[in-house]
Amino acid sequence: MEFELWMLLIFPLFFGMGWLAARIDIKQLVDESSALPRSYFEGLNFLLNERQDEAIDAFIEVVKVDPQTIELHFALGSLFRRRGEVDRALRMHLNLVERADLDKDKKQQALFELAQDYLRAGILDRAEQTFLELHDSPYAKQALDFLLEIYQKEKDWQKAIEVTQRMSLLTGQQQDREAAAFCCELAAEALARQQSGQARQYLEQALNTWPKAVHASLMLGDLELSGDRPEQAIAAWQNIEHQDAQYLPLVAERLLNAYRSLGREDEALVLLQRYQQNYPSLDLMNVLFDAVRQRQGLEAAYALLRGELHRNPSLLGLEKLLEARLLDAPDDRRADVELVRDLVHQRTRSLAMYRCTQCGFKARQFHWHCPACHGWDTYPPRRTEEAGFPL
């Protein structure tokens, strides 16, 4: 291909076009910047220097001068809410909601922000109503999350169940575990009102919703036993092995007492020993130790405990072994055994806690509903040493 002289004109032409485009962009940027109030740039400067109070005051001036700064309204409102100035956030977002010139998307965004303001202010009825208005909007899923939070605060478990159903339809992800937990709460309220028939319906609903609902099986067993139906209670509690065997320690003592009421304590010991063999647990071992000691004597119980400690070594198990040894320790050795037991106990205090897998909150008592993060079924029924949590 031969080189033509006219091609040399292409390069200066492209350069000129680029220079012209840059001049136009710069001119547009300058025009837009000059249209912004001085307070806007002052606010930015304050933010860069981490002077938030002065930045807020400057941005408020911008809003007063130019009410069309929609995004700045949203930013200020959210900032007020995070700082705890809920009244100012409410006024900011209410002003947006009431504007007739706001398009549909911005209107829905303003409603979503306003609902969060109501929730933060503790005005739950208005928060609920506003979130409900967002059922057919891009904020539908987030609105349902907040509604679920509201209903749990108000202990309105029936509405909470309805929300989980709507969330399942919206997202395609089943919320059966949470729905079953809410059914158990309804059952507990019915039992408090001495409505055992209603409680049974809720527990059956929980199991139909989430067949692995251990809490429902545990409560159903308690309900059967209170109605003097120990066989049915035993069946309900034994079902937990098929749901999630790690929860068996929670019903070990219940099973033992139910079998005792039927005069079948030896059968209970065989069952608990099988559980301990297949699903070793310190809490289960404690129940089994006491039962064997009462039925077969201290030496048999001590031998059982020692064998378990060899099979599954743990400091909590060692502490239990030392406590057992104290029961028949000679007087001249009791002080030494107590000293070792006390030293081990100081070490095991933090190991004997239950710990939430969601937020890490520790508690001495097992919880179905975490007191800290409010998660459901987030506590493994095992002490921190068994569960392998770091200290």
CB-based burial label for 35 (10 Å; 0-12, 13-18, 19+): exposed
CB-based contacts of 256, cutoff 8 Å, min separation 6: 265, 268, 272, 287, 291
pLDDT at residue 339, rounded to an integer: 72
CA distance 368 to 182: 11
pLDDT at residue 391, rounded to an integer: 41
pLDDT at residue 50, rounded to an integer: 53
pLDDT at residue 54, rounded to an integer: 60
CA distance 199 to 157: 13
Q: Where are the alpha helices (DSSP H) in 102-213?
A: 104-121, 124-132, 140-153, 157-171, 176-192, 196-209
- In contact, 90 and 84? CB cutoff 8 Å: no
pLDDT at residue 31, rounded to an integer: 42
- Helix, strand or coil for residue 119? helix
Residue ranges for the chain with pLDDT beneath 70? 1-69, 72, 321-322, 324, 329, 332, 336-337, 340-341, 344-345, 347-350, 385, 387-391
Residue whose C-alpha is closest to residue 288's, from 325, 324, 341: 324
Angle separating helix axes 282-296 and 298-311, nearest 10 degrees? 160
CA distance 199 to 305: 39
CA distance 346 to 48: 50
- In contact, 88 and 63? CB cutoff 8 Å: no
* Residue at 354: amino acid letter: Y
- In contact, 65 and 37? CB cutoff 8 Å: yes
**What stretch of H or E contains 354?**
strand 354-355
